[in-house]
């Protein structure tokens, strides 16, 4: 059993990236802009650092998705950080659709000069085409479906486009293309790997969930102590100076998670802690703090 995050064994398989880079690259000439979906709880960690070189100098719009689960004040700070770095960004929540209406106007704003140029050439009927990119589970399908439903879209497979690419007409003159291929996250940076694992972006089957939950509990103890205490009916005194595994055991005991013989089922406790964190039952928590990434680049 690992009891600290140094032993957290996160592995990933970056081999598929080359294929995805090629696929995205080959579609770039068909699109006008890229919508980069990030998870509002981890706007830095959920951005594949290779993306900038993959999408080259295409105009881009950042979408902070799942903002219903992120700390509202942090999301505001993130929007400001993007603005300060001249990147158009909006926050939304595909669960309820909140914020979705800002998307098309923001894209049109980013492409204003281009749209003007099309008009001056008489290309008034030209559709705006946007590629939606993001790591698995960030909400790409939910976003496209929401946009499509909201705007009464129809799905079509385009002739002349590699098979399997999905174009969605979300409104007259506005089309979305789902990420061709899978844009894996990248976590050379240990902190990035941990945070992606905490939010559930990495399949738990390849992780040591007890080690992961222990790491998360230490983070919560140090940064969100009262949320941790409230959720698991613990006192600040009880959690102070506790080792991560002790914290996990305390939670298992509180929840009556015992295995025959009376021992605490820490595996079950770990799964519970992770589930509850991921569903925001501990509150809206942003792991990547905007102030730590003032020079964000996409």
Residues that bind ligand G4P (CB under 6 A): 65-66, 68-69, 93-95, 134, 136-142
Query: Least separation, in Å, of the C-beta of 297 and ligand G4P?
Result: 22
Cα–Cα distance list, 217 to 241, 252, 274, 286 (Å):
12, 13, 9, 15
Q: Which residues share a beta bridge with 62?
A: 36, 89
Alpha-carbon torsion angle 142, 148, 152, 158, nearest 10:
-140
Shortest distance, position 70 Cβ to ligand G4P, whole Å = 9
Looking at the Cβ atoms of 93 and 265, the one nearer to ligand G4P is: 93
Minimum distance from residue 235 beta carbon to ligand G4P (Å): 30
Name the residue with the smallest CB distance to ligand G4P.
Answer: 139
For ligand G4P, give the closer residue by CB, 82 or 143. 143
Question: If DSSP codes are grouped into helix, strand and coil, which group holds residue 1?
Answer: coil
What is the rounded distance in angstroms from the CA atom of residue 19 to the CA atom of residue 179? 12
- We find the least distance from the C-beta atom of residue 16 to ligand G4P, in angstroms, to be 15
Q: Which string of DSSP letters, residue by residue, matches 68-103?
A: TSS-HHHHHHHHHHHHHTT-EEEE-BTTTTBTGGGH
Closer to ligand G4P by Cβ: residue 75 or 137:
137
Q: CB-wise, 100 or 251, nearer to ligand G4P?
A: 100
Question: How far does Cα 258 stand from its chain's mean position?
Answer: 34
Taking the least distance from each CB to ligand G4P, the nearer of 77 and 95 is 95
Q: What is the 3-state secondary structure (H, E, C) of 148-201?
A: HHHCCCEEECCCCCCCCCCEEEEECCEEEEECCCCCCCCCCCHHHHHHHHHHCC
Measure Cα distances from 219 to 5, 59, 107, 228, 232 in Å: 10, 36, 37, 10, 15
CB of 212 to ligand G4P, least distance (A): 18
Nearer to ligand G4P by Cβ, of 97 and 225: the residue is 97
**8 Å CB contact between 227 and 283:** yes
Question: Least distance in Å: CB of 84 to ligand G4P?
Answer: 24
**Least separation, in Å, of the C-beta of 183 and ligand G4P?**
9
Name which of 134 and 180 has its Cβ closer to ligand G4P: 134
3-state secondary structure (DSSP) of residue 125: coil
């Amino acid at each position: 059993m690992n009891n600290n995050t140094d032993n957290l064994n996160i592995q990933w398989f970056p081999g598929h990236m080359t294929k995805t880079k090629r696929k995205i690259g080959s579609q770039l000439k068909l699109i006008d802009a890229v919508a980069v979906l990030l998870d509002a709880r981890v706007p830095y960690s959920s951005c594949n650092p290779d993306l900038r070189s993959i999408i080259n100098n295409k105009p881009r719009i950042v979408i902070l998705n799942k903002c219903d689960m992120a700390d509202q004040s942090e999301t505001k700070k993130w929007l400001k950080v993007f603005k300060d770095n001249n990147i158009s960004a909006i926050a939304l929540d595909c669960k309820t659709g909140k914020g979705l209406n800002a998307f098309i106007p923001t894209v049109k704003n980013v492409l204003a000069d281009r749209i003007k140029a099309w008009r001056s050439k008489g290309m008034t009927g030209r559709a705006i085409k946007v590629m939606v990119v993001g790591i698995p589970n960030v909400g790409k399908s939910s976003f496209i479906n929401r946009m499509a439903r909201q705007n009464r879209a129809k799905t079509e497979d385009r002739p002349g486009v590699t098979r399997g690419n999905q174009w969605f007409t979300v409104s007259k003159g506005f089309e979305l293309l789902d990420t061709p291929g899978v844009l894996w996250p990248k976590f050379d940076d240990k902190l990035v790997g941990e945070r992606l694992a905490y939010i559930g972006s990495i399949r738990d089957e390849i992780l040591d969930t007890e080690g992961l939950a222990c790491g998360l509990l230490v983070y919560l103890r140090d940064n969100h102590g009262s949320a941790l205490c409230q959720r698991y009916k613990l006192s600040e005194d009880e959690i102070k100076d506790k080792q991560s595994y002790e914290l996990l055991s305390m939670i298992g005991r509180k929840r009556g998670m015992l295995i025959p013989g009376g021992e605490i089922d820490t595996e079950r406790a770990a799964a519970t802690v992770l589930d509850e964190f991921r569903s925001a039952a501990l509150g809206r928590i942003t792991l990547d703090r905007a102030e730590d990434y003032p020079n964000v680049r996409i």
